[in-house]
Amino acid sequence: MPSPNRMTPKEMLERLVAFPTVSSDSNLELIEFVKTYLAEHGVSSMVIFNEDGSKANLFATIGPMVPGGVVLSGHSDVVPALEAGWTHSPWSLTERNGRLYGRGTCDMKGFDALALAAVPDMLAASLKAPIHIALSYDEEVGCKGAPSMVESMAETIATPRAVFVGEPTRMRVVNGHKGIVAFNTHVRGHAVHSSRIDTGVSAVMVAARLVTWLDDTMADNSRRPAPGTFEPPYTTLHCGVIKGGVAGNIVAESCSFITDIRAVPQENGQDFRDRFEHYARTEIEPAMKAIAPNSGIEIEDLSSVPGLASELDGDAEALALALTGANDTAVVAYATEGGIFQNAGWSTVVVGPGDIAQAHQVDEYIEVEQLAAGERFIQRLITELAR
């Protein structure tokens, strides 16, 4: 095993992949490794734990504590690797035919490895503006760790010039993505024999009316597309899971479904969620309670991730384009922690190695060439901040 004092990006990636940091489990072993690695280079870091102390964010500053630095943002968690069909161990790095296989190689330990492996070069460069490395927990389950990390960073570091969120974009500069709001709706009905449905409240049929509202609202959105290049170019409202009822001749007592709202940056997913609840409370629930006072509708919020909006003359976009040598930007359908940084008042784009098509897949991989492209990007950033 190579010494942690100096590692290539591939060697660092090998170490990071070996930590099975599935979102349902702790990431503390990885965080402790990173903290120790940084300390060996004389870099102190700040660790922000979750409420029960089982997970943590980490951020560190290399260079002077002055404004105008750049944040390199990544997350430490990965999705599970339980699917059949893996031809390599998901928790060890395997190189074959120009690809590096392992869970998280693409999403997004490849970028994490690039940032960490470059620490010795950052220290040797006599940076005039700092580089801040930020690693969060629970990005894959609703970006739950980033808000406390960004809040702590805002209180600790000088205002940065730019934030680069290193999700896989094949090193294209992404300046926009949709936000996400997800919630579970539970309908509590009143069970009777279906021959006397007039004396009962069907949770399944009420749920069907609520799901239809989602579909009708999305259809209305589609008639007024938002500016930009999103596909589709409007806010979507989707029900992906629904469960309810016990028999065909029993009025269902219970039904639950999950709603996923993907809002274009010009709109707020929470506004649609609030409209949904208003419809449920004013148009649906009164008739339910008139028959069965104990019936009703409960809404449990699951996650809320803000979108990333394109910035007019944004510093992050300009710098990222200069470092990549590209002339254009893109938007993506998936969400990132970018909107959380942007909401803190920091100019933000998404740019990182790898292809999102490889994320969350059996035999996840990142191409060696993409890792090299990311390394060149980081080295150019170091040169820029050392001027």
**Residues marked as catalytic:** 77, 139
Number of neighbours of residue 241 by Cβ within 10 angstroms: 10
DSSP-assigned beta bridge partners for residue 367: 99
Q: Are 169 and 356 in contact (CB under 8 A)?
A: yes
Category of 63 on φ-ψ map: left (φ > 0), alpha (ψ -120 to 50) or beta: left
Q: Which amino acid is at 131?
A: I
8 Å CB contact between 371 and 12: no
Could you give the angle at the alpha carbon of 145 between the alpha carbons of 344 and 317, nearest 5°? 40
Both tokens assigned to 329? 């930007």
- Check if the beta carbon of residue 362 is closer than 8 Å to that of residue 86: yes
d(CA 272, CA 276): 6
Give residue 144's Cα distance to chain centre.
Answer: 9
Strand order in the sheet with 162-165: 45-49, 56-62, 131-136, 70-75, 162-165, 348-350, 173-177, 329-332
Helix residue spans in 63-133 (DSSP H): 110-117, 119-124
